[in-house]
Structure formats: structure tokens, C-alpha cells
């Protein structure tokens, strides 16, 4: 084995590590710049409303649909388990806690990533490759202020709402299965829920959804903003954005789950 054959893989490993660290730095810098621009007037109210509509309103149908079926399947599976221990009365709190603390924030974030996050990356990516971002820049304007800041703020605003809708619809989906199909009484389903679900649980889900809102819009706008060349570059950026978001949502969920009460 000569020296070159040893050097090459080591060099390549070093190069990849450096690239990875540099890329992390760019990610961080991008978010830092976006956060700084949030507080610098003039504020782009119209763009913000458009983004709230783009991320929030357009994701409503998918959130309602997945929320309902998540609640239903959760109720069905939990009921079958609780039945073995004679604790069917705890179905309501079990469904509510699972939705409010975990499944609501995580699944709604994953759904919005697939539905809107990918579209956000593709839209900004196409603006990049068709020189629209360059056009904003050479007009002496800041593309960060026009494209990125409204998206991140909109994510911050809409994700908690979407999660709340997911939770409520999911709880009613669980009601449909537990009460209407499996014969549990309505009073038991909701009554026990009030006993077992505390404000801490709701805050837990709220903080998660808030942070997922920032993570998803941050990653998706970054990937679009620094997309590669041509349509292939946009396609790759979109895939990467969705994959990174999905991984970060799950990792961050675990982290917050262990830190929050």
C-alpha cells in the first residue's frame, strides 16, 4: 500500500467533514440573518399574509384529513389494548395525550413539510434559477426580507394553529371510533380527558409546533435559496429539504420531549 492510497480516503474524509461543517455554518448564518431582518423595518405585511395563506390555509385540508384518521386509528388500537386491562374509560385521555404531546405536532409538521415545505423550496429554487432573486438583489433590495423572513414568520404563526386543528380533529376522530363505533359513553371519553390532560401537556405540544414551524420554513427556504443549477438542482434541493426536515422534526421532538415537562 503506497502513501497516496492512504492519503486519498483520509483527504476525502477531511474534505467532506469540512464541507459539512461549512454547510452547518451557512445554515446557522442564514437563520441568524433572517431573524435579524424580522426586526428591521419596513415590514412586509402583504408578503407575510401571502405566506400565511400559502403555508397555513393551503395545508388545512390535509391537516384535517390526517388528523381525523390519526385520531380514529389511535382510538381503535388504544381501545383494543385498554380493553385487555379493563381500562377502556381511559381511552379519551390516552388519545388526547398522544395527540397533544406527540402526534399532533409531529405529524402535522411532517404533513406540512410534504405539502407546503417542498413547494416552498421549489418556488424559491425556481426563483433562483430564473434569476428572479438576482433581479431583487440588483434592484438594491434584500431578497431575505422579501422571501425568507415572511416564510419563517408565517411558519411561526401557522404551525401552532395547524397543530391545534390537527389535535381537535384527531380527538373527534377518536370520539367517532370510541363512542360511536365501540360503544364508550361520551361523558367518559371527554370527562376523563379533562382529568388527565393538564396545561403542561398543551404547552408541550405548543412549544414543539412553534419550533417545528421555524425548522421547516428555515430548512425549506435555505434549500431553495441555495439551490443547485437547473431543474435537477431544484429537484435535489426539494428532496433534501423534505428529508432533512423529517429527520430534524423527529430528533428535535425527542430532544424537546426529554427537556419539556
Partner 1 sequence: MIRVENLHKAFGRQHVLKDFNLEITKGELVVVIGQSGIGKSVFIKHLMTLLRPDNGRILVDGADIGVLRGRALDQYREKLGVVFQGGALFDSLSVFENVAFPLRERTKLPRAEIAERVQEKLDQVGLREMGHKYPAEISGGMRKRVSIARALVAQPEIVLLDEPTTGLDPILCTTIHHLILDLHQKFQFTGVMVSHEIPDIFQIANRVAMLHDGGIVEIGSPEAIQSSTNEVVRQFIRGEIEGPIKPT
Binding region for partner 1 (CB under 8 A): 50, 126-127, 130-132, 134-135, 137-141
Give the Å distances, CA to CA, from 185 to 1, 10, 100, 181.
75, 66, 22, 11
Coarse DSSP helix, strand, coil percentages of the chain, rounded to the nearest 5 percent? 90, 0, 10
CB 91 within 8 A of CB 73: no
Q: Which three cell numbers stand for residue 125?
A: 429554487
Provide the minimum distance between the beta carbon of 133 and partner 1 in the complex, in angstroms, as a whole number: 9
Which C-beta is closer to partner 1: that of 137 or that of 198? 137
CB 215 within 8 A of CB 249: yes
Which C-beta is closer to partner 1: that of 47 or that of 188? 47
Provide the minimum distance between the beta carbon of 108 and partner 1 in the complex, in angstroms, as a whole number: 26
Provide the minimum distance between the beta carbon of 143 and partner 1 in the complex, in angstroms, as a whole number: 11
CB 206 within 8 A of CB 166: no
- Provide the 3-class DSSP secondary structure of residue 40: coil
Provide the minimum distance between the beta carbon of 113 and partner 1 in the complex, in angstroms, as a whole number: 22
Question: Which residue reads 400565511 in cell numbers?
Answer: 52
CB 128 within 8 A of CB 227: yes
Which C-beta is closer to partner 1: that of 135 or that of 247? 135
Which C-beta is closer to partner 1: that of 45 or that of 261? 45
Provide the minimum distance between the beta carbon of 132 and partner 1 in the complex, in angstroms, as a whole number: 5
Provide the minimum distance between the beta carbon of 49 and partner 1 in the complex, in angstroms, as a whole number: 13
Which C-beta is closer to partner 1: that of 64 or that of 119? 119
Which C-beta is closer to partner 1: that of 6 or that of 40? 40
Give the Å distances, CA to CA, from 136 to 25, 121, 127, 132, 192.
25, 18, 10, 6, 56
Amino acid at each position: 500500500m503506497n502513501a497516496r492510497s492512504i492519503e486519498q480516503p483520509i483527504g476525502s474524509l477531511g474534505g467532506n467533514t469540512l464541507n459539512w461543517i461549512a454547510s452547518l455554518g451557512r445554515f446557522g448564518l442564514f437563520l441568524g440573518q433572517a431573524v435579524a431582518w424580522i426586526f428591521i423595518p419596513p415590514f412586509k405585511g402583504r408578503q407575510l399574509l401571502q405566506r400565511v395563506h400559502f403555508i397555513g390555509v393551503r395545508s388545512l385540508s390535509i391537516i384535517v384529513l390526517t388528523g381525523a384518521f390519526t385520531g380514529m386509528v389511535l382510538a381503535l388500537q388504544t381501545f383494543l389494548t385498554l380493553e385487555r386491562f379493563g381500562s377502556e374509560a381511559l381511552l379519551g385521555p390516552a388519545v388526547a395525550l398522544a395527540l397533544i404531546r406527540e402526534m399532533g405536532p409531529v405529524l402535522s409538521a411532517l404533513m406540512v413539510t410534504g405539502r407546503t415545505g417542498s413547494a416552498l423550496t421549489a418556488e424559491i429554487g425556481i426563483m433562483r434559477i430564473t434569476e428572479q432573486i438576482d433581479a431583487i438583489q440588483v434592484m438594491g433590495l434584500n431578497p431575505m426580507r422579501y422571501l425568507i423572513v415572511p416564510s419563517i414568520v408565517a411558519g411561526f404563526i401557522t404551525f401552532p394553529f395547524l397543530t391545534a386543528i390537527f389535535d381537535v380533529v384527531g380527538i373527534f376522530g377518536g370520539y367517532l371510533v370510541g363512542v360511536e363505533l365501540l360503544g364508550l359513553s361520551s361523558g367518559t371519553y371527554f370527562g376523563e380527558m379533562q382529568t388527565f390532560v393538564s396545561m403542561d401537556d398543551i404547552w408541550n405540544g405548543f412549544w414543539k409546533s412553534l419550533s417545528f414551524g421555524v425548522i421547516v420554513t428555515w430548512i425549506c427556504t435555505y434549500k431553495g435559496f441555495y439551490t443547485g443549477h437547473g431543474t435537477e438542482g431544484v429537484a435535489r434541493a426539494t428532496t433534501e429539504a423534505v428529508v432533512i426536515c423529517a429527520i430534524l422534526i423527529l430528533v428535535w421532538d425527542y430532544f424537546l420531549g426529554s427537556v419539556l415537562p
